[in-house]
Amino acid sequence: MADAKKKKSDPKADLKKLAEKLSPSPKNVWDELDKAGRKEADELGRRYISFLTRAKTERAVASECAKTLAARGLADLSKTKGKAAKGGYIVHQGKLLGAFLPGAKSPAEGFNLIVAHGDSPRLDLKPKCVYEESGPGFGMLKTNLYGGLKKFQWLARPLALWGFCALKDGRKVEIVFGEDPKDPVLTIPDLLPHLDRKAQRDKKISEAIAAEKMNLVAASIPLGTPEDKNRLKLAVLKILNDRWGLTADDLVSSEMEIVPAGPAREVGLDGSLIGGYGQDDRMTVFAAMEAMAAVKKTQRPTLFLVYDREEIGSYGSTGAAGGNFVDYLAARAFEASGLKPDWAAVREALMNTNCLSADVEGAIDPDYKEVHEELNSARVNHGTCLIRYTGGAGKYGASEAGAEYMARIRAAFDKEGIIWQSSLLGKQEEGGGGTEALYMAAFGMNVVDCGPPVISMHSPFEVSSKADLLMTVRAYAAFLKMQ
């Protein structure tokens, strides 16, 4: 009798218990990590910073991954046909990477597939890009926007050139200029505030900087003597020729990408965060590569795809639109396992495939909370995000995971003690965005978007958290282990 009385007398504790049972409070990953866990997050973050610094283009991402997979014993399936006991990888057109790892089960029963993208918003050089402004006195390079970027973020900052040029005789020239601390950098000048009122300040931010005004200062020492013409344009061309053997015509068959110069960095007085260019979507590429290495034995075979061109709509021979390359990779996985890649069998395997569309999520910005719907928005340090649907207002263009699949994924994550959050991108009518999920869903497979929260997304210095990176690696590993 006395005991019963005692229990009843603490309604506060009972209510707290009930609340935890019915709706557990969101967990900050740092609160849950012990000393070893924090050290693991820190070391993983440093390795990731090195990857981000080395892989600043989709080509660099594909070749970094290919190199690592080859070192892990995977076969280059573009060079060999037939069985591959440890799995294999293919790089298509230098920019799209697909990989296969065998599991205990046959590929005919379906795969666990992780899909990411290796391209990021940037500036490209136009095919005809060299010109001069003889009055102001500069040799210049003309750029073309690639992907959704805020133009003002790219002015008056150090920029590097990552180029790839294919010559008529079959030779290939690769350029990285502006990354070595001893290299000069490139820059797009911005107008001084003293004179920017009519040209920029009184305009809408989207109209204040014209894309055609985003040109790089490339040289300022003229060739020849003052009587000569085009001395600054020639100065730029001569440097391109002296350094890399290129002519203006060669630039027509080149892919010259302008990216923020310099390494990724730890951010914050506590160094808990990671700042750098291209985390959308190289963070999930890195996490998936780590997860594949960490999981030694899976039941289902693994497929991994790193697409190009996601930032401009996924169209093109290296993009995901229309389900490009997925069925081919699945067929090659059949062959690598000694099976005949019969059309219906491959399609059936894809219908029975579990897919994670691995992409970063826009997290709540501390200074612009109003664009987020706080109940459903992602928070940094609260674990990897499961995003049931993407798209714009009214779910237009959305890919959406079914309830049954969501249940299986959260069961898999919870079983491994993963800290994750359910999130949606922003308020309903603020904009929106999509991923590669819908192109995978077109095969009839289950797909859900899953990736770490990021602030300053699509900027030259995106910011993520070491703790969320750790949870993303663990979440992807848990996914790969799914039956």
Is the CB of 117 or the CB of 300 nearer to Mn ion? 117
User: Which residues, 6+ apart, have CB-to-CB distance to 477 below 8 Å?
Assistant: 291, 294, 295, 416
Residue 124 Rama label (left phi>0; alpha psi -120 to 50; beta)? beta
Is the CB of 360 or the CB of 470 nearer to Mn ion? 360
From 280, 308, 436, 468, residue interacting with Mn ion (rule: CB under 5 A): 280
Choose one: 187-195, 278-286, 295-303, 384-392; the region binding Mn ion (CB under 5 A): 278-286
Shortest approach of Mn ion to residue 359 CB, angstroms? 4
Is the CB of 233 or the CB of 388 nearer to Mn ion? 388
**What mask of x and - would describe binding to Mn ion in positions 70 to 99, judged by CB under 5 A?**
------------------------------
φ, ψ (nearest 5 deg) of residue 436: -85, 0
Q: What interhelical angle do 35-54 and 58-71 show, nearest 10?
A: 120
User: Which residues, 6+ apart, have CB-to-CB distance to 315 below 8 Å?
Assistant: 309, 321
| Token digits of residue 460 | 């030259």
Shortest approach of Mn ion to residue 464 CB, angstroms? 13
φ, ψ (nearest 5 deg) of residue 59: -65, -45
Shortest approach of Mn ion to residue 45 CB, angstroms? 20
Is the CB of 298 or the CB of 390 nearer to Mn ion? 390
C-alpha torsion sign, points 8, 10, 16, 20: negative
Q: From residue 89, give the alpha-carbon distance in Å to each of 67, 119, 205, 216, 319.
A: 10, 19, 44, 37, 17
Shortest approach of Mn ion to residue 457 CB, angstroms? 7
Is the CB of 114 or the CB of 236 nearer to Mn ion? 114
In the window 201-220, what residues touch Mn ion (CB under 5 A)?
none
281 in contact with Mn ion (CB under 5 A) = yes
Q: What is d(CA 366, CA 187) in angstroms, rounded to the nearest whole number?
A: 30
Shortest approach of Mn ion to residue 91 CB, angstroms? 20
Is the CB of 132 or the CB of 280 nearer to Mn ion? 280
449 in contact with Mn ion (CB under 5 A) = no
In the window 221-250, what residues touch Mn ion (CB under 5 A)?
none
Q: Which of 437, 410, 482, 405 is nearest to 115 (CA)?
A: 437
Strand partners, 357: 115, 449
Find the helix or strand (DSSP H, E) in which 360 lies.
Answer: none
| Token digits of residue 232 | 């600054």
Number of shown-chain residues binding Mn ion (CB under 5 A): 3
119 in contact with Mn ion (CB under 5 A) = no
Is the CB of 233 or the CB of 458 nearer to Mn ion? 458
Shortest approach of Mn ion to residue 280 CB, angstroms? 4
Is the CB of 280 or the CB of 308 nearer to Mn ion? 280
Q: Which of 98, 244, 270, 80 is nearest to 176 (CA)?
A: 244
Is the CB of 179 or the CB of 281 nearer to Mn ion? 281
Shortest approach of Mn ion to residue 297 CB, angstroms? 30
| Burial group, residue 206, by CB count within 10 angstroms (0-12, 13-18, 19+) | exposed
Is the CB of 346 or the CB of 469 nearer to Mn ion? 469
Q: Which of 401, 355, 393, 361 is nearest to 377 (CA)?
A: 361
Burial 219-242 (b: 16+ CB within 10 A, else e): beebbeeeeeebbbbbbbbebbee
Is the CB of 186 or the CB of 440 nearer to Mn ion? 440
Shortest approach of Mn ion to residue 432 CB, angstroms? 12
Shortest approach of Mn ion to residue 311 CB, angstroms? 5
Is the CB of 250 or the CB of 280 nearer to Mn ion? 280
Shortest approach of Mn ion to residue 154 CB, angstroms? 16
Three-class SS state of 245: coil
Shortest approach of Mn ion to residue 113 CB, angstroms? 17
Three-class SS state of 464: strand
Residue keyed to tokens 């603020």: 430
Q: What is d(CA 92, CA 65) in angstroms, rounded to the nearest whole number?
A: 13
Choose one: 67-75, 279-287, 326-334, 338-346; the region binding Mn ion (CB under 5 A): 279-287
In the window 368-427, what residues touch Mn ion (CB under 5 A)?
none
Three-class SS state of 8: helix
Shortest approach of Mn ion to residue 383 CB, angstroms? 18
**What mask of x and - would describe binding to Mn ion in positions 336 to 365, judged by CB under 5 A?**
-----------------------x------
Choose one: 53-61, 123-131, 280-288, 300-308; the region binding Mn ion (CB under 5 A): 280-288
In the window 247-276, what residues touch Mn ion (CB under 5 A)?
none
Binding site for Mn ion (CB under 5 A): 280-281, 359
